[in-house]
Structure 1
């Protein structure tokens, strides 16, 4: 499946600002009791692109994105930026 655009992601999930900068949350900024259906992980691809993928990931993690709308059974990735 082809990755969605950041514009599509913004319209569908409404990313929320991080405490200290744009939309990228550091791991220690994520509340311990956070519902993971409202969180996405920014991961770096082998080609240097950043993608938002649903849930928490730890490999190639660049940071997290918190959204107002939760994801359901999301399998699509979104190109960040």
Structure 2
């Protein structure tokens, strides 16, 4: 499946600011009772590009993104540019 655009991601899910910087949350900043459907993981792909992937991931993780709108059956990654 082809990755969606960051512009589409921003409009559809509305990333929320992190406590200490832009919108990229460090693992220890994510609340323990956080609803995982509102969280995305910023990962580095095998091609060196960055992607927002739905849910929590640990491999190639750069941080987490919280969104105002949750994802349901989202399988698409979004290219972070």
**CA-CA distance at 1:36 after TM superposition:** 0.1
String of CA shifts for 1:19-63, please: whole Å, max 9, x gaps. Answer: 111111000000000000000000001221110000000011010
> Is residue 2:5 matched to residue 1:5?
yes
The equivalent residue for 1:26 is: 26
Gaps of 5+ in 1: none
| Alignment TM-score, normalising by the size of structure 2 | 0.97
Structure 2 CA distance, aligned partners of 1:4 and 1:19? Answer: 26
| Structure 1 stretches of at least 4 aligned residues deviating more than 2 Å after TM superposition | none
Gaps of 5+ in 2: none
Counterpart of 1:8 in 2: which secondary structure?
helix
The equivalent residue for 1:74 is: 74
Structure 1 CA distance, aligned partners of 2:80 and 2:26? Answer: 16
**Alignment length (residue pairs):** 81
The equivalent residue for 2:52 is: 52
| Alignment TM-score, normalising by the size of structure 1 | 0.97
Structure 2 CA distance, aligned partners of 1:4 and 1:32? Answer: 29
CA RMSD of superposed structures (Å): 0.6
